[in-house]
């Protein structure tokens, strides 16, 4: 039941935030913070007290199985394991960061904004816990629509275009997934006579004779659009650039992870044999994402666009790791997801705060900010070098393990992927150079981070360092889940 509450609290909090704003009884920002904190509390207290159950040869901390639409074999199944727990933790934490980062940015209808924000989080929380395919699809759509509003209503100058592009890409790929899902259920029904959307029932499905490869591809494309992998990535730079700060933080920090999560949770375990056949292609796509994202990032002058392309590059490592099919690759992929959640959220929050201060995102109009904003400079320097994979910080652990694992699986592809390590400093350091070093074209004083921003960045820095120096607890939490794909 706790699982339902985890999601419900966010939904209710969203409605409350809206109402509070309409009735002017309370500040929706505080309601949002309180909601997320309560949810975090529930999650953590639950994780401390939970005992595990084993279903389908895998350990789950908690499951909930209620009939929903029995006629079509649709259940309301929620379950949580280590991976889902980590993802939920990331979601709630970055939700907090998102609220903080947009603290002063949102001027119009703040209540509706926080409603959308919390509902997106609720959708994501649902995605990370739903284990009925239909329910998963439901939450997949739920997280999309409020996000669309966040971009379309509170975005920047080109918001409508970006929002619609985001919507169409996700929707079209979601349709593919739905088709693949229904077909999978249908073929399973033909084979076993049991009509069920349940993950556990489909996991062991023997689908001889069905066009399983195409079904796998349907799932794969839906998740890779979200990830995003080249060449399905072009919604991302626009959406990230145009979204308000909180939107970018959530998009980069959390929404991209749902794609990776889908690959790990559904695409690979449901179609193990096809995935093995498909692995070289998927890894190649990952490598292309790494290199291509890095190259395009370097060319950008819009800072949010640059960070958006680096996301593509980093998520390429996740794709590479997932399809390496060994524990280094898997754990590295999850570490990369967490690490990228921190660094990209921090960098987007920074970009948002710069835009709020000087009303431009164009790096050609910046320069020499270190002098007037040393705290900002140091913090951004920290996250930039984290992003380029400095050992001792979280991103390194992820990328190193991914490459280590991928090298065992496919040496040549990995050698090319390693070129990404050379490109990463090229784009990361150029950010520092253009914004903080040199002399400003127009002499302007930028105000340094406020204590709210320092607090928010400080939390993320601590986590990045913690994960970089002592990732073992996280990797152990993840460990069991990923065994399944390693067959």
Partner 1 sequence: MLNLLWLVPTFPLAGFLLLALCGLPKRLAAWVGVGSVGIAALLTLGIAVEFLGMPASEQVFRQTLWQWMSSGDFTATFALYLDPLALVMMCIITGIGFLIHLYSVGYMDEDPAFSRFFAYMNLFVAAMLVLVLGDNLVLLYLGWEGVGLCSYLLIGFWYDSPENGYAARKAFIVTRIGDTSMAIGLFLLFMHLGTLDIQQLMQSAGDNWAQGSLLPTLAAALLLGGALGKSAQLPLQTWLPDAMAGPTPISALIHAATMVTAGVYLIARTHELFMLAPEVLFVVAVIGVLTLLISGFTALVQTDIKRILAFSTMSQLGYMFLALGVGAWSAAIFHLMTHAFFKALLFLASGAVIICMHHEQDIFKMGGLRKRLPVSFWSFVIGGLALAALPLTSGYYSKHEILGATHVFARSGDTLWAVAVLGALITGIYTSRLIFVVFFGADKTHADESSIGLNIKLPLIILCVLSLFGGLIHVPLDRVFPLQQVLPHLAGTANALTIAAPFVGILIAYLFFYGKPELSEKVAANSLGKMLQRFWFSGWGFDWLYQKLLVNPLMWLVRANKKDVVDSFYHLIAWLIRLLHRLLSMSQTGRVQWYAAGIALGVVVIVGLGVWRQHLWF
- Print the binding letters for residues 304-343 with partner 1: x by CB under 8 A, - otherwise: ----------------------xxx--xx-----------
Q: What's the closest the beta carbon of residue 469 comes to partner 1, in angstroms?
A: 7
Q: Determine the interface stretch with partner 1 among 6-14, 81-89, 355-363, 410-418 (rule: CB under 8 A).
A: 410-418
Which CB, 67 or 391, lies closer to partner 1? 391
The alpha-helical segments, DSSP class H, found in 204-244 are 212-226, 235-242
Q: Rounded to whole angstroms, how far apart are CA atoms 80 and 95?
A: 19
CB of 160 to partner 1, least distance (A): 14
Q: Does 145 bind partner 1 (CB under 8 A)?
A: no
Among 23, 51, 54, 411, binds partner 1 (CB under 8 A): 411
| Residue 298 contacts partner 1 per CB under 8 A | yes
The piece of 37-45, 204-212, 346-354, 416-424 that touches partner 1 (CB under 8 A) is 416-424
Shortest separation between residue 395's beta carbon and partner 1, angstroms: 12
Angle between helices 212-226 and 159-192 (to 10 degrees): 150
Contact pick of 204, 211, 280, 391 for partner 1 (by CB under 8 A): 391
Return d(Cα 350, Cα 456) in angstroms, integer.
11
Task: Out of 295, 358, 480, 484, name the contact with partner 1 by CB under 8 A.
Answer: 295
End-to-end CA distance of the chain: 32
- Cα(352)–Cα(355) distance, rounded to whole angstroms? 5
Site mask for partner 1 (CB under 8 A), range 421-460, x = bound: xx--xx--xx--x--xxxx---------------------
Only segment of 96-104, 141-149, 242-250, 464-472 that touches partner 1 (CB under 8 A):
464-472
Query: What's the token pair of residue 50?
Result: 């939970």
Encoded tokens for 7: 């999601």
Structure tokens at 145: 């629509």
Q: How far is the CB of 434 from partner 1 (least distance, A)?
A: 9
Q: What's the CA gap between 63 and 81, in Å, rounded?
A: 9
Among positions 75, 159, 233, 314, the unique one binding partner 1 when judged by CB under 8 A: 233
Nearest to 260 by CA among 341, 145, 197: 341
CA distances, 65 to each of 62, 68, 122, 186 (Å): 10, 9, 19, 21
Query: CA 76 to CA 250: how far, in whole Å?
Result: 26
Long-range contacts of 354-359 (CB under 8 A, 24+ apart): 354/303, 354/435, 354/446, 355/156, 355/245, 355/304, 356/104, 356/105, 356/245, 357/446, 357/447, 358/444, 358/446
Is 392 an interacting residue with respect to partner 1 (CB under 8 A)?
Answer: yes
Q: How big is the chain by its Cα radius of gyration, in Å?
A: 21
Q: Does 125 bind partner 1 (CB under 8 A)?
A: no
Q: Is 344 in the site for partner 1 (CB under 8 A)?
A: no
Which letter does DSSP use for residue 76 in this model?
E
Helix axes 303-322, 272-299, angle to 10 degrees: 160
Quick check: 440 and 368 in contact, CB under 8 A?
yes
When the beta carbons of 79 and 333 are compared against partner 1, the nearer one is 333
Nearest-approach distance from CB 42 to partner 1, in angstroms: 30
Pairwise CA distance, residues 444 & 436, whole Å: 12
Instruction: Please state whether 51 falls in left (phi above 0), alpha (psi between -120 and 50) or beta.
Output: beta
From the CB of 362, what's the least distance to partner 1, in Å? Answer: 13
Q: Cα(384)–Cα(66) distance, rounded to whole angstroms?
A: 46
Closer CB to partner 1, residue 259 or residue 471? 471
Least distance to partner 1, CB of residue 405, Å: 8
| 330 in Cβ contact with 407 (< 8 Å) | no
Query: How many residues belong to the chain?
Result: 487
Instruction: Give the nearer residue to partner 1 in terms of CB position, either 125 or 397.
Output: 397
Among 390, 394, 463, 481, which residue sits at the site for partner 1 (rule: CB under 8 A)?
390
Shortest distance in whole angstroms from residue 355 CB to partner 1: 20
- Of 26, 408, 448, 454, the residue at the interface with partner 1 (CB under 8 A) is 408
Closer residue to partner 1, CB minimum distance, 357 or 437: 437
When the beta carbons of 243 and 435 are compared against partner 1, the nearer one is 435
| List 146, 237, 247, 259, residue binding partner 1 (CB under 8 A) | 237
# residues near partner 1 by CB under 8 A:
54
Least distance between partner 1 and beta carbon 426 (Å): 6
Q: With beta carbons less than 8 A apart as the criterion, state whether 236 and 312 touch.
A: yes
Cite the DSSP H helix spans in 393-443. 394-409, 411-435
Binding residue for partner 1, selected from 116, 275, 414, 464, defined by CB under 8 A: 414
**What is the distance between the alpha carbons of residues 394 and 469, in angstroms, rounded to a whole number?**
8
CB 393 within 8 A of CB 463: no
DSSP state of 362: B
Binding-site ranges for partner 1 (CB under 8 A): 230-231, 233-234, 237, 292, 295-296, 298-300, 326-328, 331-332, 368, 370, 378, 385, 390-392, 396-397, 400-401, 403-405, 407-408, 411, 414-415, 418-419, 421-422, 425-426, 429-430, 433, 436-439, 469-472, 475, 479
């Amino acid at each position: 039941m706790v699982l339902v509450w985890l999601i419900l609290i966010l939904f209710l909090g969203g409605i409350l935030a809206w109402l509070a704003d309409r009735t002017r009884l309370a500040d929706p920002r505080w309601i949002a913070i309180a909601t997320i904190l309560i949810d975090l509390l529930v999650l953590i207290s639950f994780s401390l007290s939970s005992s595990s159950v084993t279903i389908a040869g895998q350990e789950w901390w908690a499951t909930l199985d209620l009939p929903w639409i029995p006629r079509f074999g649709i259940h309301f199944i929620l379950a949580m394991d280590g991976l889902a727990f980590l993802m939920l933790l990331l979601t709630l934490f970055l939700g907090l960061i998102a609220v903080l980062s947009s603290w002063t940015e949102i001027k119009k209808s703040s209540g509706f904004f926080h409603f959308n924000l919390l509902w997106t989080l609720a959708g994501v929380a649902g995605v990370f816990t739903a284990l009925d395919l239909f329910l998963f699809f439901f939450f997949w759509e739920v997280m999309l629509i409020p996000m669309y509003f966040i971009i379309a209503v509170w975005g920047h100058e080109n918001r409508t275009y970006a929002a619609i592009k985001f919507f169409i890409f996700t929707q079209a790929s979601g349709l593919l997934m739905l088709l693949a899902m229904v077909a999978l259920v249908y073929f399973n029904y033909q084979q076993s006579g049991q009509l069920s959307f349940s993950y556990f029932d489909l996991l062991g499905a023997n689908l001889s004779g069905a066009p399983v490869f195409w079904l796998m591809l349907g799932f794969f494309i839906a998740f890779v659009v979200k990830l995003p992998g080249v060449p399905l990535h072009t919604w991302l730079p626009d959406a990230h650039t145009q979204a308000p700060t909180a939107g970018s933080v959530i998009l980069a920090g959390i929404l991209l992870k749902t794609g990776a999560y889908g690959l790990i949770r559904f695409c690979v375990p449901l179609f193990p044999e096809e995935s093995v056949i498909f692995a070289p292609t998927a890894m190649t796509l990952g490598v292309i994402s790494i290199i291509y994202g890095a190259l395009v990032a370097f060319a950008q002058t819009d800072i949010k666009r640059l960070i958006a392309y680096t996301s593509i590059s980093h998520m390429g490592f996740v794709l590479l790791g997932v399809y390496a099919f060994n524990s280094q690759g898997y754990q590295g992929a999850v570490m990369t997801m967490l690490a990228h959640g921190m660094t990209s959220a921090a960098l987007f929050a920074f970009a948002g705060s710069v835009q709020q201060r000087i009303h431009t995102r164009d790096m050609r109009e910046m320069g020499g900010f270190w002098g007037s904003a040393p705290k900002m400079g140091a913090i951004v320097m920290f996250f930039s070098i984290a992003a380029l994979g400095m050992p001792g910080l979280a991103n390194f652990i992820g990328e190193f393990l991914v490459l280590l694992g991928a090298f065992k699986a496919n040496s040549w592809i990995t050698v090319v992927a390693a070129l990404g390590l050379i490109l990463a400093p090229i784009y990361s350091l150029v950010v520092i150079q253009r914004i903080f070093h040199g002399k400003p074209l127009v002499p302007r004083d930028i105000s340094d981070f406020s204590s709210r921003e320092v607090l928010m960045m400080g939390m993320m820095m601590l986590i990045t360092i913690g994960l970089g120096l002592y990732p073992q607890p996280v990797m152990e939490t993840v460990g069991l889940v990923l065994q399944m794909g390693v067959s």
